[in-house]
Amino acid sequence: MLKKFLVLVALLMPVVAYGADKAKDDEPVEHLTDEQIYEQLKKLALVFETARDNFVEEADEKKMLEAAMNGMLQALDPHSSYLSADDFKEFNDKSLGKFGGLGIQITSDRGAVRVISPIDDTPAERAGIKAGDYITHIDDEPVFDLTLNQATKKMKGRPGTKVKLTVISEGEEPRTITLKRAIIKVESVKFEEKKMAGFEDDEDADKIGYIRISDFGATTAKELNKALEKLEDKDVIGYVLDVRNNPGGYLTAAIDVADAFLDSGEIVSTRGKRPTDIERNFAAPGDLANGKPVVVLINHGSASASEIVAGALQDNGRALVMGSQSFGKGSVQQQKPLGDGTAIHITIARYYTPSGRSIQNEGITPDIEVLQSKVEVLERRESLYSEASFKNSLKNEEAEKKDKDKSDDDDKELTDEEKDALDYQLQRAMDMVRAMVKLQAHADLIPATPESIAASESDEGDALSEDEAE
C-alpha cells in the first residue's frame, strides 16, 4: 500500500516542482534534495495510513487523497486546484457557456470566500451580490474550513432548489439571503445602439455602440465580430466596451477581442517559470471598429481576461479606460488532465500588457477614474415661493391626478432606458465617446499654418528624391 501511494504522489512531483517558484518574493524557495523529497513523501504516506487506521469513524480514503492533492496545489496560489472527474466536467460545461448554480465567480481569500463578480442575469446578480463581497456561511455552515472547490460544490445543485448564503459587504452588517439555483446560460456578448439619457426620442441624437461582455468563453470573439458588424451598419459614432464585473475566461478569447479593435501592435505577453517561456501575441491588420473612438469601462469586478483587453487597448492608445481600479489577477491557468477523467487547474504563467506592466495584485488603473455614483438633482422644479405655497390656495385637479399617476409609476419596474440613465459610469463613458468624436473632427478642421505647409512640402520633396533615386 505504501509503495503504491508513493508512486501516485511521485506522478504529481513534476507539477509541484513546476509551481514552486510561486512563493512570495520575501520568502525564497529552499529546494529539497531527491532524498529529502522521498522522506517527506514517506511521511505523507504515514500520515495517511495512521489517520485512516485511527480515526474514530470509517475513513473515506478517496476524500482524504483528493483533499491532500487539492491542498498541495492550493498551497501554490489561490487559483490552482485539483479537479475531480465531476469538477473537470463542470469546468468544461461552464467554458462552453452553460452550467448549473447561482451564477457567481468566487476566489479564496485568506481562508474566506470572496466574490470576484456575479454573472449578468443570474440569481446571484438579481440578489444584489457584488464584487468584493465575502460569503461567510453556506446553509448556516461556515466556509472557513472549506476548500474553494468544496464551497463551490455547496452552492451548486439541482435547478429549482434553494441555498442560503450569509454575505458581508464592505461597511455593512452581514445579511442572509436565500437564492434559488438555476441553469446558468451565459450570453457572453450583448450589444445595442444607445443614446444619451434624455435624448432617446431625438432622431438626430448621436448613436453610440454599446457592447457588454460578461465573460470570455469559447464563442465570445465570434459573437463580438457579429456585434461590431451590425453596429457599424447602424452608423454609430463610437463604442463603449463594458467589461465591468467580468471575471475573465479564456486567454485566447481576450486576445481575439482586443485584436478586433486593433490594426497592429502587441496585445499581451505571457511569461512562464523559465526565461525562455515567453510568448507574445500581436494584432492582425483590420480594425473592425474602423478607427472610431472606444471607451472601455472597468471596475473592481473586472479580472484576468478583462484586464488583458483593457490593458492592450490602453497601452496601444486605441481606447480610453474609464471606471475604477480593476481586480488585479495577472496570472494564466491551464487544465492538465491526469488521464483518468480528473485534472489539475494550475497557474502556468504571468501575463504582461504591451508596455510590460504586470497587473498582478495591482490591476488596471483607468485613464479617468469615474466611481459609480447617484445623480442628485440640486435644482427644484417648483419654487418654494409660488401660488401653490400660499395657505388655502385653490387646488389644481389635473395636478392632483398627475401626482397620483406619478405615485403609481414609482411602483413600476424601471425600463432599460431608465436603468441606463441611472448608470453614472455608462453616461460618463458615452459623454467621453461624443467628446472624442468632436475632438477628432476639430483636429481635421484645424487650418494649415505656414509651418505645417512647409513641413508637408519638405516631406513631399524627400519622397520625390527617393523616387528619382529608384
Active-site residue identified among 117, 304, 306, 326: 304
* 383 labelled catalytic: no
Pairwise CA distance, residues 416 & 430, whole Å: 16
Query: All 3 cell numbers of residue 328?
Result: 488585479
* 287 labelled catalytic: no
Question: What does the pLDDT look like over 112-130, one tens digit per residue?
Answer: 788 988 888 889 999 999 9
Give SS3 for 364. Answer: coil
DSSP 8-state class, residue 285: S
User: pLDDT below 50 — which residues of the chain?
Assistant: 1-24, 380-384, 463-470
Query: What pLDDT was estimated at residue 397?
Result: 63
* 391 labelled catalytic: no
- DSSP bridge pairs for 358: 352
Query: What pLDDT was estimated at residue 202?
Result: 84
DSSP 8-state class, residue 11: H
Q: Which of 221, 226, 237 is nearest to 191 (CA)?
A: 226
Pairwise CA distance, residues 315 & 328, whole Å: 16
CB proximity list for 28: less than 8 A, separation 6 or greater: none
Query: All 3 cell numbers of residue 69?
Result: 492533492
Active-site residue identified among 326, 329, 331, 420: 329
For each of the domains in the chain, give its residue range(s) and CATH number, in order of start: 2-87 (no CATH), 101-185 (2.30.42.10), 189-369 (3.90.226.10)
Query: What pLDDT was estimated at residue 23?
Result: 42
Sign of the torsion angle spanned by Cα atoms 321, 325, 328, 334: negative
Query: What pLDDT was estimated at residue 144?
Result: 82
- Taken as a whole, the chain contains a residue count of 470
Active-site residue identified among 315, 324, 326, 420: 315
Question: What does the pLDDT look like over 323-370, one tens digit per residue?
Answer: 999 999 999 999 999 999 999 999 999 999 999 999 999 999 999 999
Give SS3 for 412. Answer: coil
Query: What pLDDT was estimated at residue 96?
Result: 58
